[in-house]
Amino acid sequence: EYKPREVIRLLRNRLPERIQDLLEQIGRCGDELGVKVFVVGGFVRDLLLDLPNLDLDIVVEGDGIAFAEHYARQHQCRVRAHQKFGTAVIVLPDEFKVDVASTRVEFYLEPAALPTVENASIKLDLYRRDFTINTLAISLNGERFGEIHDFFGGLRDLRQKAIRVLHNLSFVEDPTRVFRAVRFEQRLEFHIGKQTEHLIRSAVRMGFLERLGGPRLLSELQHILEEEHPYPAIERLSQLDLLKFLHPSLDLPVDCEDLFDRATRSLNWFDLLYTEESCQRWLVYLLCLVTRLDDDAMQGLCDRLSIPGRYRSLLADERHRAHGVLKGMRRRWRQARRKPRNSDLYVWFEGFSIETLLYLMARIETEDVRRWVSLYVTRLRDEKSWIDGEDLKKMGIPPGPQYKEILRRVLLARLDGKATTREEEIAFVTRRYRSLIT
Ligand code: ATP
C-alpha cells in the first residue's frame, strides 16, 4: 500500500530533520553489523496518522544490546542495557532517548519467574503486541529504508479506524490491554472492533481482570487520566462495565462530564498561570471520578490500586476535609451570597495540595464561589507575615510552640487588612498578646 518512496516522503515532511538523520544513522549501523533494524509500534502508527510522536522504538533482528553499544561508540552516546530482556536505551548527548529491543520470544520456565529470552524474527516479536495498529514496522537498513511491514492487518485497521487484537487470547494473556484498547479508541477516535469488544466482554465476565495486580491497574488508569481529554475514555470504561474493577461500588458520577470539563478548565487555568509549578493532572481527575465514594470505599480503592503512600493522605484525609469545606462553603453561599473574609478562605484551604484545590474548583458550579478558591491559589496561599520569631523574641515573648500560632494570627489579621505594615503587625501582637509579654 505504501511504497518506500511514499514512506520516505512522510518521514521528510512530518519529522524534524534530526530524527530523519537519526533513523538513517541507525539503519547504517545495522548495515555495518549485518543485522536488520526496524522502527516499530506507536511511532509508525502516529507517523501514518500524522500525529506528533518522537518515541523511537527500534527492533533489531538479533542482539539489540550489541547494536546499541556499537551505535553509542560511534556517536558518543551512553547505553543503559537490560541483559535479562535483551533491551537497551541509547541516550544521546542531548538526553534524547531511543529504545532498542532484540527480536525475541519470551519463555516463562516456571510460573512467576522472569522470562528467558531467545532470538526470533521481527514477525514473532510483533505478534506479542497489543493491537494490530501497533504492529507496523519500517525497515531502516540502507537498501530497504522505508519499506513497511504489515504482518497483521495494521494498515487496514488504520484505514478502518479500528482497534483490534491479534488473537483471541490477547486479553487473557494481559488484561491491561482492555484499558489500553479503550484509551487508544478514545484518543484516536477509532472504534474497538466487534470481535475485540466481544473478547473484552468475555474477559470481564470470566473475571480475568480481577487477576490484574494493583500497580499495573493503577498505571493504566493513570495513563487514561493523563490523556488530554480523559472523560470519553471514562465513559467508555463505564459502558463496558470496567469501573467496577477499580471499586465494586464505583459508578459514573452524575454530571460526570461537566465535572471533568470543569476540572480541565481549572487545570488549564493553573498551567497557564503557574508554568513552573507542577500538578498531577491524573490525581485531579481521579478525585473527580471517585467523588461519590465514601471514605471506606475510597480506602478500598486505594488498596486495590496499590496507591503509593505519598498519595494516600491526599486521597484520604485531605479529600475528607475538602468535602467538609465544600459543605461549609455551600452553606455560607446560601446564607450570605458574598465573599467570606480572606482569613476564612485561608483557614478553609490552608494545607491543601494544589490537586485538591483544583478538584474543589471543579466541584463548584457557581462561578462566584469558585473564585473563593482561585483567590486563595493566586493571592493568599503564599502570604507570610512581615514579622517572624526573631521579632517576637525582641518583643519579649518567651519562645515556644505558641510562636507558630501567634504568627498565624498575625497573618490572618494581615489578610483581612487589619495589620498591613510591619509596625501594625507589631502593634497587633502587643495588643493581643499583652499578657505573654515579659
Ligand atoms: P503512548 O503514546 O501512549 O506512549 P504507545 O503506542 O507509544 O502510546 P506505549 O505504552 O508507549 O504505547 O507502548 C509502546 C509499544 O509497546 C506499543 O506500541 C505497544 O505495541 C507495545 N505495548 C505496550 N503495552 C503493551 C501490552 N500490555 N501488551 C502488548 N503490547 C504492549
Nearest Cα residue to atom 6 of ligand 1:
42
120: pLDDT strictly greater than 80? no
Question: Do 23 and 149 reside in the same domain of the chain?
Answer: yes
Question: Do 250 and 357 reside in the same domain of the chain?
Answer: no
88: pLDDT strictly greater than 70? yes
CB 4 within 8 A of CB 144: yes
The span from the CA of 278 to the CA of 285, in Å, is 15
In a domain, 209, yes or no: yes
CB 89 within 8 A of CB 79: yes
Domain boundary among 254, 276, 304: 304
pLDDT at 387: 94
CB 38 within 8 A of CB 29: no
Residue 99 CB–ligand 1 contact under 6 Å: no
CATH code, domain with 26: 3.30.460.10
Domain boundary among 267, 284, 304: 304
Question: Do 219 and 343 reside in the same domain of the chain?
Answer: no
Question: Do 187 and 268 reside in the same domain of the chain?
Answer: yes
**DSSP H or E run through 364:** none
CB 358 within 8 A of CB 385: no
Cβ-Cβ contacts under 8 Å for 13 (sequence gap 6 or more): none
- With cut-offs at 50, 70 and 90, classify the pLDDT of residue 254: confident
Burial code (b: 16+ CB inside 10 Å, e: under 16) for 147-175 equals bbbbbbbbbebbeeebbbbbeeebbeeeb
Question: Do 12 and 150 reside in the same domain of the chain?
Answer: yes
Question: Do 84 and 137 reside in the same domain of the chain?
Answer: yes
Question: Do 151 and 37 reside in the same domain of the chain?
Answer: yes
In a domain, 211, yes or no: yes
Question: Do 339 and 398 reside in the same domain of the chain?
Answer: no
Domain boundary among 304, 336, 363: 304
Secondary structure E strands in 249-353: none
Q: Could you tell me the three cell numbers for 204?
A: 470481564
Nearest Cα residue to atom 3 of ligand 1:
223
- Helical ranges in 169-247 per DSSP H: 170-173, 176-188, 194-205, 214-225, 231-239
* Torsions phi, psi for 52 (to 5 deg): -70, 130
In a domain, 88, yes or no: yes
CATH code, domain with 272: 1.10.3090.10
The stretch 74-94 carries a mean pLDDT of 94
CB 220 within 8 A of CB 276: no
SS3 207: coil
328: pLDDT strictly greater than 50? yes
275: pLDDT strictly greater than 90? no
Share above pLDDT 70 across residues of the chain, in percent, rounded to a whole number: 96
105: pLDDT strictly greater than 80? no
Give me the domain span that covers residue 16.
4-160
238: pLDDT strictly greater than 90? yes
Question: Do 324 and 418 reside in the same domain of the chain?
Answer: no
180: pLDDT strictly greater than 90? yes
Tell me, what's the ipTM? 0.93
Residue 177 CB–ligand 1 contact under 6 Å: yes
Tell me the CA–centroid distance for residue 41 and ligand 1, in Å. Answer: 7
Closest CA to 266 of 185, 376, 357: 357
Tell me the CA–centroid distance for residue 42 and ligand 1, in Å. Answer: 7
CB 198 within 8 A of CB 258: no
Question: Do 323 and 365 reside in the same domain of the chain?
Answer: yes
In a domain, 45, yes or no: yes
SS3 377: helix
Question: Do 133 and 30 reside in the same domain of the chain?
Answer: yes
pLDDT at 36: 95
Closest CA to 44 of 157, 128, 143: 157
In a domain, 309, yes or no: no
pLDDT at 253: 87
Residue 130 CB–ligand 1 contact under 6 Å: yes
Amino acid at 359: Y
pLDDT at 109: 57
In a domain, 415, yes or no: yes
CB 79 within 8 A of CB 72: yes
In a domain, 171, yes or no: no
Q: What's the domain count of the chain?
A: 4
Nearest Cα residue to atom 21 of ligand 1:
129
pLDDT at 107: 53
Residue 87 CB–ligand 1 contact under 6 Å: no
Question: Do 254 and 348 reside in the same domain of the chain?
Answer: no
pLDDT at 114: 63
The stretch 48-59 carries a mean pLDDT of 97
The stretch 298-317 carries a mean pLDDT of 96
Tell me the CA–centroid distance for residue 171 and ligand 1, in Å. Answer: 14
In a domain, 175, yes or no: no
Mutation to probe ligand 1, out of 55, 165, 170, 227 (largest number of atoms < 8 A from CB): 55
3-state secondary structure 296-316: HHHHHHHHHCCCCHHHHHHHH
Nearest Cα residue to atom 15 of ligand 1:
41
